Structure 1
Amino acid sequence: MSHETPIRVDHTGIAVESIPDAEPLLFALGCRKLIEESVEGRFRWAQYDFGTNASRLELIAPEAEDTFLTEYLDEHGPGLHHVTFEVADIDAVAATLEESGYSVVEYREYEDWTEAFVPPSNPTGALFQLFEYHDSYDEGRPPAEKLYVDGQRLTK
């Protein structure tokens, strides 16, 4: 099974206890900080790149005491958390995965994006996030070159 939907690695998420404590390593590697946001006071994320049109790294750190991220850090410690694939049509990709026998969970549609996850029970052992940007995603955010790989989101 396959699909015709454009897809690419958007970012790799790294769980950390503190973004300010972890980001100096990324700066020493030559990264530049693109954006940092809080998600409903539960966790904070920041994205970085190397000043090219390459995929990005993301640091995610808890802001509240009882979240999926605090549980993850308690169980696993800091480290690789997920790989996010930007997809032009999340429904087509999810359908292909499910038709191929893989689970797609936590499908959520928000105002500015839709996401779903392929749990780490898959043969790779990695958590994959599928992420489709909506047209409204860039409204009120930094310029497109800081939001999207190559400065543009994928389209159908």
Structure 2
Amino acid sequence: MKVHHVGYAVENHDRAEQGFIALGYTIGPRTDDTARRVCISFARNGTELVEIISPLAEDSPVSSVLAKNGPSAYHLCYETPDLAASLVELRKHGWRTLIPAEAAPALEGSDVAFLYNRHVGLIELVERPETDGEPR
């Protein structure tokens, strides 16, 4: 697996995007993921991809991250060509599924799942065909 993006929780989406623009990133379109209660955009700088995530509601999953840590990076997302097989394999190594696989509107409907390991922390897996190029 290879890293697809870093997930970054923010309180103010506009200001966060401006901050990443100042760092040399270009910003893609925003997506409101109403099922997850978050607003998402992606910032790209060459092959680096940052997922900017802000809450759409007080009970949004990122609200607790923001309350505890403030704006911060809080997960890495890894690409896998076979999400189901990767989930089975990672469970054998102590990973727990926190959010089962479901389509993610901000990632063109690709299936994603969130996992946790007490020695590593939170990760996201996104199912993507194997490529040698930049993350999509």
Q: CA RMSD in A?
A: 2.4
Identify the match of residue 81 of structure 1 among 65, 70, 74.
Answer: 74
Q: Contact 1:107 / 1:114 at 8 angstroms: preserved in 2?
A: no
State the distance in 2 between where 1:27 and 1:70 align.
Answer: 24
Query: Percent of aligned positions with the same letter in both sequences?
Result: 26
Q: Find the counterpart in structure 2 of residue 150 from structure 1.
A: 133
Q: Find the counterpart in structure 2 of residue 8 from structure 1.
A: 2
Kindly name which structure, 1 or 2, has the bigger radius of gyration based on alpha carbons.
1
Q: State the TM-score, normalized to the length of structure 2.
A: 0.82
Q: Greater share of strand residues, 1 or 2?
A: 2
Which runs of at least 4 in structure 1 moved beyond 6 Å after TM superposition? none
Deviations 1:7-65 (A, max 9, x none): 22111011010111112221111111123211118210110111x2x130111011212
For residue 11 of structure 1, give the secondary structure of its aligned residue in structure 2: strand
Q: State the TM-score, normalized to the length of structure 1.
A: 0.72
For residue 28 of structure 2, give the secondary structure of its aligned residue in structure 1: strand
Deviations 1:43-99 (A, max 9, x none): 10110111x2x1301110112122212222112211012111111101111111112
Q: Contact 1:43 / 1:63 at 8 angstroms: preserved in 2?
A: yes
Gaps of 5+ in 1: 1-6, 135-147
Gaps of 5+ in 2: none
State the distance in 1 between where 2:103 and 2:17 align.
Answer: 28
State the distance in 2 between where 1:92 and 1:22 align.
Answer: 35
State the distance in 2 between where 1:44 and 1:82 align.
Answer: 16
For residue 29 of structure 2, give the secondary structure of its aligned residue in structure 1: strand
